[in-house]
C-alpha cells in the first residue's frame, strides 16, 4: 500500500522553551511533554527583527526578507517619507501553500499573518490578522468564500482579537483575559471541525493567544519585572500558564483527531521575555549627534497627527477602527507617517529613523532615493554609516553605563535578494537592560530632548503601540514527531527558514533552489510509525 505522508502543523505564536521547560517538568503540559520526549526538538531562530510578519513570511517561503520583501508590520512608501502597513500583497515570493497546491497536495491553512487576502489554494485558507486593528473575519478572509458561511453555521463566527489593546485601564486585564480565552476556544473548535472534514496532506493552524497573553500579562508572571505593579493581582499570576495549559490540551485534541499516521510539528515564530522600563527615542539620539534636525527647535513638530492617531485608537469603537485600517489605507498611512516622521527638517537631516518599536533601524537621507536627500551615494554614504555605527557603540544607559545597542548591522550583512534595497540602511539589535528589552517610541510631540527616559508608574502596563510589558526574543521552538517512540532527540539550532524546504521534502516535493533554508534530514527523511494511531504518542493519563 502506498505510504502517504501527512503533516499537522500547530503554530503557537511566541512560544518559548523558557516557559515550556519548567512547566513541563512540573507536569503542567502533558501533551507537549510527550512530543518532546518521543520526538525531535530544536530551538528555532527567528528573523532579525524577531517580528510576526517577517518571521512567518520567512517560514512560509524559506527565504530571508531580502527575497520575500517583508521586514516589519510596516514598509516605506517608495519616493516618500511615508509608511504603510504590509500584508500578503507585499510578499514577493511563493509560499509553501502555493507550492504544495501546485504539487497536488491538499492544504488547509488557518490564522497565519500576512495571508490576507487569502491565496487560491488546493484546499482552504483563512487569513490571519491583516492590520493592527483586526477583530474578526468577513468572507474576504476565507478561500473559498463559501466556507465562511459554513463555519458560522456549524461552529460560530471566527474571531481574531475580539477586544481592543490600545488603552489599558482599571479592569482591563480581567476583561482581556476572558476575551483571550473565548477567542482561543472558538478558534480551537473551528480548527477541529475543519481538520475532520477530510484527510489533509498538510493542515496548519496558528494560535496567537500565546503571544497576546505574554505581551500583556508578563508583568504579573515575572516577579522581577520592572513593570510589575506594586499591588500585583494574584489572580493574574498564572494567566500565562493557564493559556499554555489550554493550548497543550488543544494540541492533544487536534493530534487525536488527525488522520492515522499523521506527523506533527509544533513551532513558534519567535520567543518571549519581559520588557524593561526604559524608552529609547532614536530620532532624539540622532538629533543629539547632529545628524537630524526637527523643525521648530525644541518640539518635534506639531502634535496634531499624534493626537489624532492616539485618540482614534483609544476612543473609536473597534468596528470603526477596523474599517479605517483596512478600507482607508491612505488615511492610516498619512497618520502613521506623520506620527513617526513628522516635524523633521529634511534639508538639515542626514539620517533618520521611522522609530517603529518592532524594527529599530536607521535610514540615510540619500540623494536620489529620498525626496529631499542630502547624502551622496558612494563614499559619503559608506562613511556616514560607519560613523553612525561607531557612535551607537557609545550610546550608553546613564543608569548602568552599559551599551543600549548590542549590534548595528549594515543591511547587506543581514539580507540579500532582489528586495534587499527595501530594508533600512542600518538595522539595530538593542541590548537587554538587566535581562529586559528597551522600548523604541516616536519622538514626535515630545517637548524634552533626551534620547532616553524611564516610564512613569501609570505607563508600565503598556498597551499596543505604547510598549507592552512582554516582548519578543529571537529563539522560538520546534517540535516534531512522526510516531516514533524512541526519537527523543535534540537537534542543533534551526532557522525558521529551514521549515519550508523541510516540509516540502517531507511531503514528497522538491524544494526550490532559491530558498535560503536548508532541509532538516531528521525530519524530511523520517518514516511514519504505522503503529501509532495518530502520528504521535499520547501523554500518559
Task: For residue 530, tell me if it sits in a domain.
Answer: no
Q: Are 185 and 326 in a shared domain?
A: no
**Does residue 443 fall inside a structural domain?**
yes
88 with 36, same domain: the answer is yes
Looking at the fold, whether 371 and 503 belong to one and the same domain comes out as no
Interior angle at CA 321, CA 228 and CA 273, nearest 5: 25
Is 467 inside a domain boundary?
no
pLDDT in the model for residue 315: 45
CA distance 494 to 507: 19
Same domain as 407, residue 260: no
340 with 354: CB under 8 angstroms?
Answer: yes
Question: How many domains does the chain divide into?
Answer: 3
Q: How far apart are CA 43 and CA 102, in angstroms?
A: 31
Domain identity same for 42 and 185: yes
Residue 105 belongs to domain with CATH number: 3.40.720.10
Domain end residue (candidates: 321, 339, 357): 339
Return the closest-CA partner of residue 372 out of 355, 338, 349, 341.
Answer: 349
Residue 53 is assigned to a structural domain of this protein: yes
E-state strands within 281-372: 351-352, 361-364
User: Is residue 166 located within the same domain as residue 221?
Assistant: yes
Question: Could you list the residue range(s) of the whole structural domain that residue 231 is in?
Answer: 7-270+474-524
Shared domain check, 290 and 258: no
Query: Residues 419, 519: one domain?
Result: no
Residues 43, 473 contacting (CB under 8 angstroms): no
* Residue 529, in any domain of the structure: no
Contacts of 339 (CB under 8 A, 6+ apart): 305, 306, 309, 442, 444
Other CB atoms within 10 A of residue 273 CB: 21
Q: Are residues 193 and 157 in the same domain?
A: yes
534 found inside a domain:
no
Residues 120 and 74 in one domain: yes
The grid coordinates of residue 80 equal 516618500
Supply the angle between the helices 304-315 and 329-341 in degrees, to the nearest 10. 130
Paired residues of 40 in beta bridges? 480, 489
pLDDT the model gives residue 533: 39
Sign of the torsion angle spanned by Cα atoms 123, 70, 277, 464: negative
468 within some domain: no
Closest C-alpha among 70, 66, 111, 106 to residue 88: 70
**141 and 241 together in one domain:** yes
381 contacts 447 by C-beta, under 8 angstroms: no
Same domain membership, residue 508 and residue 372: no
Distance CA 447, CA 202 (A): 54
- Give pLDDT tens digits along the chain (541 positions): 356 899 999 999 999 999 999 999 999 999 999 999 999 999 999 999 999 999 999 999 999 999 999 999 999 999 999 999 898 999 999 999 999 999 999 999 999 999 999 999 999 999 987 654 456 678 999 999 999 999 999 999 888 876 776 778 788 999 999 999 999 999 999 999 999 999 899 999 999 999 999 999 999 999 999 999 987 678 899 999 999 999 999 999 999 999 999 999 999 999 999 999 999 999 999 999 999 999 874 444 433 444 334 444 444 455 545 555 555 566 677 777 787 888 999 999 999 999 999 999 999 999 999 999 999 999 999 999 999 999 999 999 999 999 999 999 999 999 999 999 999 999 999 999 999 999 999 997 666 679 999 999 988 888 877 789 999 999 999 999 997 555 678 999 999 999 999 999 999 999 999 999 999 999 998 766 554 434 433 333 2
- CA 468 – CA 358 distance, rounded (Å): 11
* Phi, then psi, of 495 in degrees rounded to 5: -95, 145
Amino acid at each position: 500500500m502506498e505510504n502517504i505522508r501527512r503533516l499537522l502543523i500547530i503554530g503557537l505564536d511566541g512560544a518559548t522553551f523558557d516557559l515550556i521547560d519548567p512547566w513541563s517538568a512540573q507536569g503542567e503540559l502533558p501533551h507537549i511533554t510527550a512530543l518532546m520526549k518521543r520526538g525531535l526538538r530544536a530551538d528555532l531562530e527567528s528573523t532579525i527583527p524577531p517580528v510576526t510578519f517577517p518571521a512567518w513570511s520567512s517560514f512560509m517561503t524559506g527565504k530571508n526578507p531580502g527575497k520575500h520583501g517583508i521586514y516589519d508590520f510596516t514598509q516605506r512608501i517608495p519616493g516618500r517619507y511615508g509608511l504603510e502597513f504590509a500584508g500578503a500583497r507585499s510578499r514577493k515570493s511563493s509560499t509553501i501553500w502555493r507550492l504544495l497546491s501546485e504539487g497536488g497536495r491538499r492544504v488547509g491553512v488557518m490564522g497565519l499573518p500576512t495571508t490576507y487576502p487569502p491565496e487560491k489554494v488546493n484546499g482552504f485558507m483563512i487569513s490571519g490578522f491583516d492590520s493592527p486593528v483586526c477583530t474578526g473575519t468577513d468572507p474576504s478572509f476565507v478561500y473559498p468564500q463559501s466556507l465562511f458561511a459554513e463555519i458560522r453555521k456549524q461552529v460560530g463566527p471566527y474571531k481574531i482579537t475580539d477586544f481592543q489593546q490600545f488603552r489599558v485601564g482599571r479592569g482591563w486585564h480581567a476583561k482581556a483575559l476572558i476575551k483571550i480565552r473565548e477567542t482561543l476556544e472558538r478558534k480551537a473548535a473551528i480548527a477541529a471541525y475543519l481538520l475532520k472534514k477530510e484527510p489533509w496532506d498538510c493542515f496548519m493552524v496558528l494560535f496567537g493567544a500565546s503571544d497576546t497573553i505574554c505581551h500583556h500579562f508578563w508583568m504579573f508572571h515575572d516577579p522581577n519585572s520592572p513593570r510589575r505593579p506594586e499591588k500585583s493581582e494574584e489572580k493574574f499570576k498564572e494567566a500565562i500558564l493557564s493559556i499554555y495549559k489550554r493550548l497543550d490540551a488543544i494540541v492533544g485534541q487536534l493530534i487525536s483527531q488527525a488522520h492515522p499516521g499523521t506527523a506533527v510539528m509544533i513551532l513558534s515564530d519567535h520567543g518571549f521575555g519581559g520588557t524593561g522600563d526604559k524608552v529609547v527615542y532614536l530620532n532624539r539620539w540622532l538629533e543629539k549627534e547632529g545628524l537630524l534636525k526637527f523643525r521648530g527647535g525644541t518640539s518635534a513638530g506639531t502634535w496634531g497627527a499624534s493626537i489624532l492617531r492616539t485618540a482614534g485608537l483609544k476612543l473609536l469603537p473597534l468596528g470603526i477602527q477596523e474599517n479605517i485600517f483596512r478600507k482607508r489605507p491612505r488615511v492610516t498611512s498619512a497618520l502613521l507617517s506623520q506620527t513617526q516622521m513628522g516635524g523633521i527638517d529634511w534639508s538639515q537631516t542626514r539620517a533618520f529613523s521611522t522609530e517603529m518599536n518592532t524594527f529599530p533601524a536607521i535610514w540615510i537621507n540619500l540623494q536620489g532615493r529620498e525626496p529631499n536627500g542630502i547624502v551622496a551615494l558612494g563614499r559619503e554614504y559608506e562613511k556616514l554609516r560607519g560613523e553612525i555605527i561607531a557612535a551607537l557603540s557609545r550610546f550608553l544607559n546613564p543608569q548602568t553605563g552599559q551599551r543600549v545597542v548590542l549590534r548595528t548591522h549594515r543591511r547587506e550583512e543581514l539580507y540579500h535578494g532582489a528586495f534587499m534595497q527595501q530594508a533600512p540602511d542600518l538595522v539595530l539589535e538593542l541590548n537587554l537592560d538587566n535581562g529586559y528589552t528597551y522600548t523604541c517610541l516616536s519622538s514626535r510631540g515630545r517637548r524634552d530632548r533626551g534620547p532616553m527616559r524611564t516610564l512613569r508608574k501609570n505607563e508600565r502596563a503598556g498597551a499596543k503601540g505604547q510598549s507592552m510589558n512582554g516582548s519578543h526574543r529571537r529563539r522560538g521552538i520546534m517540535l516534531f514527531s512522526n510516531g516514533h517512540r524512541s526519537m527523543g532527540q535534540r537537534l542543533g539550532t534551526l532557522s525558521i527558514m529551514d521549515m519550508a524546504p523541510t516540509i516540502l521534502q517531507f511531503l514528497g516535493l522538491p524544494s526550490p533552489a532559491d530558498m535560503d533554508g536548508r532541509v532538516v534530514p531528521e525530519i524530511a527523511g523520517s518514516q511514519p510509525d504505522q503503529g501509532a494511531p495518530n502520528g504521535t504518542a499520547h501523554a500518559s493519563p
